[in-house]
Amino acid sequence: MPQLAQMKYCTGCGACANACPKDCISMTADAEGFHYPIVDAARCVRCGLCEKACPVIGGDFCRDNPAAYAVHNRDAEVVGSSSSGGVFAAIAEWVIGQGGVVYGAAFREDLSVSHLRVDAKECLGIFRGSKYLQSDVGSAFRCVAQDLKAGRKVLFSGTPCQAAALHRYLGRTYEELLTVDVICHSVPSPKAWRRYLDALQARERSKIVFANFRDKRDSWQGYYLCTQLENGREIVRTGEENQYMRAFLQGLSTRPSCYHCRFKGSNRGSDITLGDFWGVETAAPEAYHAAGTSLVLINSPKGQSALAGIAEKLELRPVNEAAALEGNPAYSAPSAPHPRRAEFFASLEQEEFDDLVNHLLAPTKWEKLKQRWSRSIVCRGFRKLRRLISL
């Protein structure tokens, strides 16, 4: 049997399944809804290609310090429909304009998320916006390889582990391949997302037909989750109000490998890293855009060339890397597990989703005491005294 990554480190990228020449590896959901490789030992020929493709057991990716930029698209409509500054849309159009193809995460009709292939500009809209759940790569790596062998330019977008997995799967460098990853907090369970959707649909007595994890009608910085129902009703909640987003952001629904992620900082195989420019008001106030500002990190000469190719479509300002990353700890640090994560998954199928999250994330007696103390007159007096002493 092949020696693949241990479950707690496995990212579910699917590179091993794509690499298997006998198709004897299937990506199968476990009890938490995360996909892991299952090997059919009877059909395995011990070729070792799956092990070579695994980004977890492969070697590291060493990148120099990236060049950092604060960016937003000059097209206000594109910025408005994107998670932050609309940079990926410009890159994707540039690649399509050269006869290339784009692979990225997109919603399917049932609101699950998979990696799809697009070769026409008018179809690129399916990739816009963040999808806060794990995407199913399927056979995308095989399709990328076919496109590259046919001489086509390819843009692949995904999480850092997915971008690293594609490079391991290919096993060689392709000049026509451009990879983009995102500053990733973690990937939550598709099962948790389905349970959330089912509960909401049952409560509203209508099918959910659209979801947007980063609705911008009030602010691009509020993690607004918007869901639209078949009956015409629309529900918009902030990340603090929405129980799915609370579970995601506080580590209740996170994949185990995200707690040990080795694709942080400069150890990523991508040419370009994109993220929300959290803290742009302080790090680069002149680059702030009311509808969203992107942080762009250029990791390779190929990435720099791509940025130059789309520069005319962007408002682009170089920024200090350290200052830019100060508001983005997820760039270099893995997420932390919530202490009640096991309870969340143990009760996910039995309890109503919102009730479960509210219960598990309710402050403990000790936390309530700390909150009361922090708001007390005595505590405020101590803080004021400390500030005076430090002057």
Q: Is residue 385 part of a domain?
A: no
Give me the percent of the chain exceeding a pLDDT of 70. Answer: 92
Q: Is residue 386 part of a domain?
A: no
Please give the residue range of the domain that contains residue 268.
67-188+253-331
Q: Is residue 82 part of a domain?
A: yes
Question: Which pLDDT belongs to residue 219?
Answer: 77
Backbone angles phi, psi at 310, to 5 degrees: -115, 5
Q: Is residue 195 part of a domain?
A: no
pLDDT at residue 387 is higher than 60 = no
Q: Is residue 206 part of a domain?
A: no
CA 382, CA 172: separation in Å to the nearest integer?
60
Residue whose entry in the numeric block shows the structure tokens 């911008």: 216
CA 188, CA 313: separation in Å to the nearest integer?
33
Strand locations in the chain (E): 25-29, 35-39, 67-73, 101-107, 113-118, 154-158, 177-182, 208-215, 224-229, 234-237, 272-276, 294-298, 314-319
Average pLDDT in the 156-167 region? 96
Question: Which pLDDT belongs to residue 369?
Answer: 64
Domain count, the chain: 1
Question: Which pLDDT belongs to residue 373?
Answer: 60
Condensed to tens digits (0 to 9), the pLDDT of residues 241-269 reads 999 999 999 999 999 999 999 999 988 88
Condensed to tens digits (0 to 9), the pLDDT of residues 115-158 reads 999 999 999 999 988 899 999 999 999 999 999 999 999 999 99
Residue count (the chain) = 391
pLDDT at residue 391 is higher than 60 = no
Put simply, whether the predicted model's pTM sits higher than 0.85 gets the answer yes
Average pLDDT in the 164-190 region? 96
Q: Is residue 166 part of a domain?
A: yes
- How far is the CA of 302 from the CAs of 139, 174, 308, in angstroms? 25, 11, 10
Per the structure block, which two tokens stand in for 93? Answer: 């159009």
Question: Which pLDDT belongs to residue 372?
Answer: 62
Backbone angles phi, psi at 270, to 5 degrees: -80, 160
Q: Is residue 54 part of a domain?
A: no
Q: Is residue 203 part of a domain?
A: no
Q: pLDDT averaged over the chain?
A: 91
CA 236, CA 352: separation in Å to the nearest integer?
20
Average pLDDT in the 278-293 region? 91
Condensed to tens digits (0 to 9), the pLDDT of residues 37-93 reads 999 999 999 999 999 999 999 877 766 779 999 999 999 889 888 888 999 999 999
pLDDT at residue 354 is higher than 80 = yes
